[in-house]
Amino acid sequence: MKRILLLICSAISFAVNATEYKIHSAVELQALKLAPGDKVVLADGQWKDQRLVFSGKGTEAAPIVLTTEKPGVTKLTGTSTLLVEGTWLVVDGLYFTDGHSEKEDVIVLSAKTSYSRVTNTAIVNYNAPDIKKDYKWLSLYGHHNRVDHCWLEGKSHQGTTLVVWLSDQPNYHRIDHNYFGQRPELGVNGGETIRIGTSTWSMHDSYTIVENNIFNRCDGEIEAISNKSCRNILRNNLFYECSATLTLRHGNNNEAYGNIFIGNNKPNTGGIRIIGENQQVHDNFFQELTGTGLSAAISIMDGLPNPILTSHWQVKNAVISKNTIVHCKESLSIGAGKNADRYLPALNTVFNNNTIITDRQPVNWVDESVVMQFSGNIADVPAGTKLPEGFAVKATGTAKDKDGIWQVPGVKPDLFWKNTKVGPAWTSPVLGAR
């Protein structure tokens, strides 16, 4: 209570002394000496080829805000970019479009940035003429930063859309309530929508939370989310007709739960791919996915012996529970990716209390040497289907509801996007639209 009163008093004090600046160029922004509670407004008009540097030290009670006079109308075009550097800074209502970056990532929260936020902001079709040019649209360094209620769509050139970069210390970032719109297939590696870490930093803890985001037809490459670090939480996201997967590519002790994958039988739509140690995959919902092998609804890979950081590490101690898989082409792939070099089977893997509804074989053994611990699972399958021990055959009587979701007894996916705002306040991207 004492801390709350102090924050309130501090906020009142800064509110009295705060200044609002209306500016017309990046040069004007750089000249400002910003104090807690200050607000900078980009005037309506032409913001072309502007390299904005937003720096300062706000406080929890009185952050410094950078916004636009008309969110969604005021546009940053040409070669405009934004560097954010400081503490308790808020970027609200920017819109990058009709241009591309020449050198830098479009929005960067630097290594010196903490407790800061990018919200209500969009980067749409901000593409280099050369699709081989690699820059990210949003790069998160520092720690305790947040990206929320943003709209990122149409990235057609090389490079991940949003990257969390690691350091020696965990970053504790939060990425939530964003709309990631269509990303066309790139044709090469590097087309992820979100990447958390890199192979070389993959054994470091990140503690990033990715939640309540929509991924709509994010087809850039096989990984829509590429997890390459430890102790992250990936929960309650919607993957709609994505020819890609949520991949636990590197790192250990990650948790993926409450996610919804709707494929609508679109080609190569995938689910969750598991690599590494102590991964928890539970309470996810997979519907009408057509991916197989590495893109199956749930894919458990074989690993490489003596792996280096860029390798596929052996799966150990994975717990896969209470997931629901409905009418997917390949529900569970065990030992996916096995070849002459990659042959270490998953160890101590638990698959319990899951429900699979399919007219196909529910389990595909790519590597028959894998020993799985099956228990309490339900399979709604044709009579005579061969099942491992730990499955009970049960008719579920499923049917689709008005939202196009298969209704499974005892399972109720959280359709968060129906009652929670996702994306900027000034626009409403349409699910499924191109």
C-alpha 275/C-alpha 248 separation (Å) is 6
Q: Is the pLDDT of residue 8 over 90?
A: no
List Cβ neighbours of 291 (8 Å cut-off, separation of 6 or more): 243, 245, 263, 268, 269, 270, 271, 297, 329, 330
At 40 the pLDDT is: 98
- Give me the amino acid identity at 206: S
Measured from the Cβ of residue 63, the count of other Cβ atoms closer than 10 Å reads: 24
C-alpha 414/C-alpha 279 separation (Å) is 22
Structural domain boundaries of the chain?
A: 48-55+65-418
User: pLDDT tens digits for 116-149?
Assistant: 999 999 999 999 999 999 999 999 999 999 999 9
The answer to whether the CB of 36 falls within 8 A of the CB of 64 is yes
At 103 the pLDDT is: 87
C-alpha 341/C-alpha 310 separation (Å) is 14
Query: If pLDDT is split at 50, 70 and 90, which confidence band does 432 have?
Result: low
Question: Out of 3-17, 20-34, 51-65, 394-408, which region has the weakest mean confidence (pLDDT)?
Answer: 3-17
Percent of the residues in the chain that have a pLDDT greater than 70, as a whole number: 95
**Is the C-alpha dihedral spanning 137, 141, 142, 148 positive or negative?**
positive
Q: Is the pLDDT of residue 80 over 60?
A: yes
DSSP 8-state symbol, 295: G
Averaged pLDDT, 41-68 = 97
Query: If pLDDT is split at 50, 70 and 90, which confidence band does 106 have?
Result: very high
User: pLDDT tens digits for 199-231?
Assistant: 999 999 999 999 999 999 999 999 999 999 999
Q: Is the pLDDT of residue 335 over 60?
A: yes
User: pLDDT tens digits for 272-297?
Assistant: 999 999 999 999 999 999 999 999 99
List Cβ neighbours of 60 (8 Å cut-off, separation of 6 or more): 7, 88, 115
- Give me the amino acid identity at 92: D
List Cβ neighbours of 139 (8 Å cut-off, separation of 6 or more): 105, 107, 108, 109, 162, 163, 165
Show the beta-strand stretches assigned E in 270-375: 272-274, 280-282, 285-287, 298-301, 319-321, 324-326, 332-336, 349-352, 355-357, 363-365, 372-375
Identify the residue whose tokens are 């009709």. 98
Closest residue by Cα to residue 140 from 176, 164, 112: 164
C-alpha 430/C-alpha 411 separation (Å) is 26
Specify the CATH number of the domain 48-55+65-418: 2.160.20.10
Is the pTM value of this prediction over 0.75? yes
Closest residue by Cα to residue 23 from 1, 8, 38: 38
287 CB-contact burial (10 Å; exposed 0-12 / middle 13-18 / buried 19+): buried
Measured from the Cβ of residue 199, the count of other Cβ atoms closer than 10 Å reads: 16
Identify the residue whose tokens are 């991924």. 215
- pLDDT, mean over the chain: 94
C-alpha 212/C-alpha 185 separation (Å) is 24
C-alpha 127/C-alpha 139 separation (Å) is 16
Q: Is the pLDDT of residue 97 over 80?
A: yes
Question: Out of 37-46, 174-183, 376-385, 395-404, which region has the weakest mean confidence (pLDDT)?
Answer: 395-404
DSSP 8-state symbol, 215: E
**Is the C-alpha dihedral spanning 303, 305, 310, 313 positive or negative?**
positive
At 12 the pLDDT is: 55
At 17 the pLDDT is: 82
